Every structure is written in structure tokens, then in C-alpha cells.
């Protein structure tokens, strides 16, 4: 790109500047424009410029670096876009010229609207040849277990996974959102029987997730004394045989207890399911379908939809058999007490991955085996370039074993595409009424709290059209922003008071910033044509200039987030930008200003609202217009 950049075509305006600066520097420095381009870096704060260049990073000996910096700055030619670089030791600081920047950025944002920040080229398999198609990512996230609580780990996976899916889509990837439900295993035999004994059709229809959980808890309560008794007898049996006593009586007793136990019935039921018995499967399928219906409602409150509801049940036996066989044939697995394991401790390089169980003694499959089969399946069905697993750090070992086993089996092509997106724990997630079981409970609770907070300002409250719904949205924002406020790997303490506060970097603060911009827009009452004709060179105050600089970097922030894969990269940017906004309002008034100045400032605020809106949507938030 040369001297005449067209911002409307470029996805990332900062790239225009990078190209421009590198082209000007190349002849002066004798370095290649490409090398320079890659080394132009972000600055921490705007007083250090918009882009920086560490001279030693271009293989200039440290001793000569500061002399070179001065020399290059002196020789830097006049440019329409950037000032002569400022020398700071061995650093060059590049400042964008304010007026060309405003003229480039503000109209570009107003024209691109929701597309500002997206960059469809990044996701192309081959940038030079779009006919080769987009890169594809399969992302497994949320993935709760039916009939068990939706815990904080699932909440984080939902939030982070939803965000990453949006992010890759904004970068032009083809994203397959997949919910890999925990929907298979002996507990479904238990549950089906329990439903016959204790279930209610009515309750199941009304609240499937809650009802299934309740009967699951209840049946476990019934089963507990049975299992305790069996264990007691078994201990007695071990004792007796050690003492050389006759054990026939005890053995009979144990058998009798076991055969009529809830657990044994569950095992038998699940066996029928695994054998494909339609009657047995019908009940299970109902549980699954009703649960999915319910999940869908909750996910839509979080702006999340799935392309596929898969799950452990959907991994074909045949695929798993094939995997286990392949493991045996390649000599990777071995028998151990009737079960089949992969002993990763034999090789010093994989020692810490331990021994992985792939088939139980009774021949039944396991979580890990299903994941191996499922990985094959994802590759066959979707031919992805990337397979992402958004799962809590507690399952680090499981996923490391999975990826390693795939690799050892000769599927390093698959293993290379796999990535575990890990995250830390949430402490103390509970509602005000007690410990939490389901996502809906938390969202309701936080929404109610936000409703209370909103009511403390009567005048504003009365102007909100649908206060309950707004409170609900604010509550969800509060939960999500709290979750995304740190690096993924750090856990945090779930705090209702902190997250619902308007002070500090919280969800409600972000929503407030958005609503305020909407309010300014309403009050200004300018048309789109008014804003198009605005003379942007009137944006001369440092507050306005800095705001434009911040807005210009949004697409670059998105691009950088693809590297960090951290929601906090986006969130920090949005907070930085909204802080700049709130300190601007005093200085850059719209209502009451001269007509031309009013237009220019309104164009700037409208662009800021667009960027804030785009950023919030990328995070999965629903920006509100009034609150």
C-alpha cells in the first residue's frame, strides 16, 4: 500500500500506517519494509506515540542504536499521515497527524457500522486466492452434563467459548459451535428408573433440568444406604476369607442385595441403552430433548446459539472400537487387570501424563475413549483447520492425554489442530438464597439485584420502557464482564455486590457508557446527512484527537485478540475508551455548541458508540439504549 490509502477498503487502519511508515523508513535505514512493518509495535499510552519502533530490534548493534534513531528521525521525509518520529533513547515514536486521521477514521466507522473491526481476510485459507475458502474451526464449549448442575466451570466455558466463536467469525473464519453434552453413561439408567419411581410428567414438561436433577439427587439418596450395606458385607467377606472362614452365606447375601439394588437396575437399563434397545432409548431421548430445549432458552439470553447439539451419546461404538483396536495394534495400549490402558509414563517425555484408561474391565467405554472417537468424527465431518476445547483447567490432564494419544496413534495432523482453551476456577458462586444449581438461578438473582439498583434513581427508572428486561440484560452483562475481567487462567471470587456496582470497571458501567452515548444522540437530533457533511478538522481538542486515535485502533485490537485469545484484551480496550469518553463530555459538549462544531462532535460520538457497540457484541453482550 502506498501513499494514497483508502480507509474504506482497508479492514485495519493501523495497517495503513504500518505500511506507510515502513515504506518511508526502508530506503533511509537500508532495512526491508517487511522487517520494519513487523516490528512496529503498540505503545502503552498515547503520549508515547501511536506506534513505536525499537531500533535494536532491527539488528542494529546496541551501541549504535541511539545514534541511528536520531539519524533515521532526521532523514524521515515529510508525510501527509505521520509526524517526524520522536526519538526516545533507542526508540522511535510515531505520532499520527490528527486531521488526516479523523478524516480517515470517523467516516469509515460511520459507513462500516457493525463491520468496523471485522476482517474477513484473516480467515481465508489462502489470502491470495479466496476461492480456496475459509478456515474452519470447531469449537466445543459449555458442554454441560444432563441431570447434573450447571456449575461455574460450565458458565465460564459458555462465556469464553461464545466470545471466541464470535471473534473467529469476525476474523472471517467459518465457525462450527458445538455443544458436547454429557448425555451418556450409567447415570441415565439410574435416571430413567428413578423417573418411573419418582417422576412427574408435569414437572418434567415445566422444568426438565430442575426436575431431572431433583430425582437424580433423590435416587442417589435411596441408593446410598444400599451401597453402604453392600460395602459392609463385602468388607466382612474379605475379613472372613482372610480368617479362613466359610463365606458362602455372605456371598449369597451380597448377591441378593446387589441384584435388587437401584444401582444394578441402572446398570441393566444402561446396558439396554448401549445395545440400542428402542424402548430404553426413548425415555433417555426425551430427557435429552427436553433438556436441550431448556438450555436453548438460557443460551439465547446470553446471545449464544449452537450449530450442533452433540454429546457423548453421539460417538458411535464403531468409532471407539476402531480407536481401541488401533491402539492395541500399534502397541500403545496394554492390558491391566482386565482393563485396557495407555501407559504414558514409559516415555520420559510423556511421563507426567500418567496412565490413561481407555476401556473398563466390563468392556464399557469411557470419557476419554469417547473423546478420541469424537475427535475423529469432528475431523471427518467438518474437515476443520482448528479444533478448540473450552474446558476448565481441572481437565488439563484429560485433554493433554487426549491430544497426546491422538498424536501417538499417528494422527499428529489432528493433534496439531487441537487446542485446549483453559480457565481457572470461580469461588463462591451462589445465589442470595443459597448455593446455586443452575445458570438460570444465578441470572435471575443478578437481574433482581440490578432491578433494585435501577430503582434507586426514580426519574431515570420511569423512562425505561421495559425495566424488568433491562434489569435482566444488565444482570447478564454484570456476570459476563466480571468473568472476562481477568486473564482466563486466573480464577476469581464471584461477588454479586462488586459486579453490579456502577463504580469501577463493571458491566453496568459499560452499559451506562453506551446508554449515555445513545442519550446524547437522541438529544442532538442530527440526521445522517448532517453527520456526513461534518467538518472533522474542527475536532481539534486533545480529548477529541485522543478519542479518534483510540477508535482507529479497534480493528488492530481485534486482530491482536486473535493472538491472546483473551476476552480481557477487548474488555480493557473498551474500558480505556469509555474512560476517555467520560472525561470528554465536559470538554466536548454537543448540545449548545455552534452548529458546525456540534455536527463534528456528534459524528465523533456516533463513531464511538458504534465501536463500543461492536466491542460489546463481540463479547456477547446486549448493549442497552436506556437504563
Per CB under 6 A, residues contacting ligand ARG are 140, 143-145, 180, 182, 371, 389, 391
Q: Strand runs (DSSP E) across 463-547, as ranges? A: 492-493
Q: Which is nearer to ligand ARG, 145 or 485 (CB)?
A: 145
**Complete DSSP assignment for 30-70:** TS-HHHHHHH-EE-SSGGG-SEEEEGGGGT--HHHHHHHHH
Q: Least CB distance from residue 395 to ligand ARG, whole Å? A: 6
- Which long-range contacts does 440-448 make (Cβ < 8 Å, 24+ apart)? 440/298, 442/155, 442/479, 443/298, 443/301, 443/472, 443/475, 443/476, 443/479, 445/475, 445/496, 446/475, 446/476, 446/478, 446/479, 446/496, 446/499, 446/500, 447/471, 447/472, 447/474, 447/475, 447/476, 448/475
C-alpha grid cell, residue 145: 452434563
Q: Which is nearer to ligand ARG, 14 or 152 (CB)?
A: 152
Q: Which is nearer to ligand ARG, 140 or 445 (CB)?
A: 140
Q: Which of 469, 433, 465 is nearest to 450 (CA)?
A: 469
Name the catalytic one among 48, 84, 99, 148: 148
Q: Least CB distance from residue 304 to ligand ARG, whole Å? A: 16
Q: Which is nearer to ligand ARG, 168 or 180 (CB)?
A: 180
Q: Which is nearer to ligand ARG, 180 or 423 (CB)?
A: 180
Q: At what angle do helices 396-408 and 367-382 cross, to 10 degrees?
A: 60
Write the DSSP symbol of residue 351.
G
Let me know if 148 is a catalytic residue. yes
Q: Least CB distance from residue 159 to ligand ARG, whole Å? A: 15
Name the catalytic one among 20, 134, 151, 233: 151
Rg of the chain, C-alpha, whole Å: 30
Q: Least CB distance from residue 376 to ligand ARG, whole Å? A: 13
C-alpha grid cell, residue 223: 441408593
Q: Least CB distance from residue 399 to ligand ARG, whole Å? A: 7
Nearest position to ligand ARG, beta carbon: 182
Name the catalytic one among 68, 135, 154, 411: 154
Let me know if 543 is a catalytic residue. no
Q: What's phi and psi for 135, nearest 5 deg?
A: -75, 150
Q: Least CB distance from residue 281 to ligand ARG, whole Å? A: 20
CA distances from 511 to 275, 448, 460, 462, 474 (A): 53, 17, 14, 18, 7
Q: Which is nearer to ligand ARG, 208 or 555 (CB)?
A: 208
Q: Least CB distance from residue 343 to ligand ARG, whole Å? A: 22
Identify how many contiguous H helices and E strands the chain contains and give both numbers: 25, 16
Q: Which is nearer to ligand ARG, 18 or 154 (CB)?
A: 154
CA distances from 574 to 344, 550, 614 (A): 45, 10, 10
C-alpha grid cell, residue 441: 438461578
Residue that the C-alpha cell 446396558 belongs to: 271
Active site (catalytic) residues = 148, 151, 154
Amino acid at each position: 500500500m502506498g501513499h494514497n490509502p483508502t480507509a474504506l477498503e482497508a479492514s485495519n487502519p493501523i495497517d495503513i500506517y504500518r505500511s506507510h511508515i515502513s515504506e518511508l523508513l526502508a530506503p533511509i535505514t537500508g532495512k526491508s519494509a517487511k522487517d520494519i512493518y513487523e516490528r512496529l509495535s503498540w505503545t502503552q499510552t498515547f503520549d508515547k506515540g501511536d506506534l513505536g519502533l525499537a531500533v535494536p530490534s532491527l539488528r542494529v548493534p546496541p551501541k549504535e542504536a541511539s545514534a541511528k534513531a536520531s539519524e533515521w528521525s532526521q532523514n524521515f521525509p515529510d508525510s501527509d499521515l505521520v509526524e517526524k518520529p520522536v526519538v526516545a533513547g533507542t526508540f522511535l515514536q510515531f505520532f499520527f497527524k490528527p486531521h488526516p486521521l479523523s478524516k480517515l477514521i470517523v467516516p469509515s466507522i460511520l459507513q462500516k457500522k457493525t463491520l468496523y473491526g471485522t476482517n474477513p481476510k484473516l480467515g481465508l485459507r489462502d489470502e491470495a486466492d479466496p476461492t480456496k475458502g475459509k478456515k474452519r474451526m470447531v469449537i466445543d464449549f459449555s458442554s454441560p452434563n444432563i441431570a447434573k448442575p450447571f456449575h461455574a466451570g460450565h458458565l465460564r466455558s459458555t462465556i469464553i467459548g461464545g466470545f471466541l466463536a464470535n471473534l473467529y467469525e469476525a476474523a472471517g473464519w467459518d465457525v462450527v459451535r458445538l455443544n458436547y453434552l454429557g448425555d451418556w453413561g450409567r447415570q441415565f439408567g439410574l435416571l430413567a428408573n428413578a423417573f418411573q419411581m419418582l417422576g412427574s410428567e408435569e414437572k418434567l414438561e415445566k422444568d426438565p433440568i430442575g426436575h431431572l436433577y431433583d430425582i437424580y439427587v433423590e435416587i442417589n439418596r435411596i441408593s446410598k444406604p444400599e451401597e453402604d450395606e453392600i460395602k459392609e458385607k463385602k468388607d466382612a467377606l474379605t475379613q472372613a476369607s482372610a480368617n479362613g472362614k466359610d463365606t458362602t452365606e455372605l456371598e449369597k447375601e451380597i448377591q441378593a442385595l446387589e441384584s435388587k439394588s437401584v444401582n444394578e437396575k441402572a446398570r441393566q437399563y444402561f446396558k439396554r441403552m448401549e445395545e440400542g434397545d428402542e424402548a430404553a432409548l426413548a425415555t433417555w431421548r426425551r430427557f435429552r430433548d427436553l433438556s436441550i430445549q431448556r438450555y436453548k432458552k438460557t443460551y439465547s439470553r446470553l446471545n449464544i446459539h449452537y450449530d450442533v447439539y452433540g454429546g457423548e451419546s453421539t460417538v458411535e461404538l464403531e468409532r471407539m472400537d476402531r480407536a481401541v483396536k488401533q491402539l492395541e495394534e500399534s502397541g500403545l495400549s496394554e492390558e491391566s487387570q482386565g482393563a485396557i490402558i495407555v501407559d504414558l509414563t514409559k516415555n520420559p517425555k510423556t511421563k507426567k501424563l500418567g496412565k490413561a484408561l481407555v476401556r473398563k474391565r466390563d468392556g464399557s467405554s469411557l470419557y476419554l475413549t469417547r473423546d478420541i472417537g469424537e475427535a475423529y468424527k469432528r475431523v471427518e465431518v467438518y474437515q476443520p483447520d482448528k479444533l478448540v476445547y473450552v474446558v476448565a483447567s481441572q481437565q488439563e490432564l484429560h485433554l493433554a492425554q487426549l491430544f497426546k494419544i491422538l498424536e501417538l496413534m499417528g494422527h499428529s495432523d489432528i493433534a496439531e489442530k487441537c487446542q485446549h482453551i483453559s480457565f481457572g476456577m470461580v469461588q463462591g458462586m451462589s445465589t442470595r438464597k443459597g448455593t446455586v444449581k443452575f445458570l438460570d438461578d444465578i441470572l435471575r438473582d443478578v437481574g433482581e439485584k440490578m432491578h433494585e439498583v435501577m430503582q434507586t434513581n426514580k426519574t431515570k427508572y420511569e423512562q425505561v420502557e421495559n425495566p424488568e428486561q433491562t434489569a435482566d440484560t444488565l444482570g447478564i452483562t454484570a456476570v459476563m464482564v466480571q468473568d472476562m475481567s481477568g486473564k482466563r487462567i486466573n480464577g476469581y471470587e464471584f461477588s454479586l455486590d462488586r459486579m453490579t456496582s456502577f463504580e469501577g470497571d463493571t458491566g453496568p458501567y459499560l452499559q451506562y457508557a453506551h446508554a449515555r452515548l445513545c442519550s446524547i444522540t437522541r438529544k442532538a437530533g442530527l440526521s445522517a446527512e448532517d453527520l456526513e457533511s461534518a467538518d472533522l478538522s474542527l475536532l481539534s481538542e486533545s480529548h477529541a484527537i485522543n478519542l479518534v486515535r483510540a477508535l482507529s485502533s479497534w480493528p488492530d485490537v481485534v486482530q491482536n485478540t486473535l493472538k491472546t485469545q483473551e476476552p480481557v484484551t477487548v474488555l480493557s480496550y473498551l474500558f480505556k475508551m469509555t474512560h476517555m469518553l467520560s472525561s470528554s463530555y465536559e470538554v466536548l459538549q454537543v448540545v449548545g455548541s455552534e452548529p458546525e462544531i456540534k455536527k463534528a462532535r456528534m459524528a465523533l460520538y456516533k463513531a464511538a458508540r458504534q465501536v463500543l457497540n461492536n466491542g460489546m457484541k463481540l463479547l456477547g453482550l446486549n448493549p442497552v439504549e436506556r437504563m
